[in-house]
Amino acid sequence: MGDIKAYEYAVAMNVRECSICRKPVAPRAENPAFPFCSKRCRMVDLGRWLGEEYRVPDRQVDEQEDELPTDQHPDRTPGDA
Q: What is the pLDDT of residues 13-27, one digit of tens each?
A: 677 899 999 999 999
Residue 78 domain-assigned (yes or no)? no
Top pLDDT among 10 and 55 is at 55
Work out whether strand 24-25 and strand 16-17 pair parallel, antiparallel, or are unpaired.
Answer: antiparallel
Are the C-beta atoms of 38 and 14 separated by less than 8 Å? no
**CATH number for 13:** 3.30.50.10
User: Rounded to two decimals, what is the model's pTM?
Assistant: 0.54
Residue 79 domain-assigned (yes or no)? no
Q: What is the pLDDT of residues 22-56, one digit of tens each?
A: 999 999 999 999 999 999 999 999 999 999 998 88
> How many domains is the chain built from?
1
Residue 59 domain-assigned (yes or no)? yes
Residue 24 domain-assigned (yes or no)? yes
Residue 22 domain-assigned (yes or no)? yes
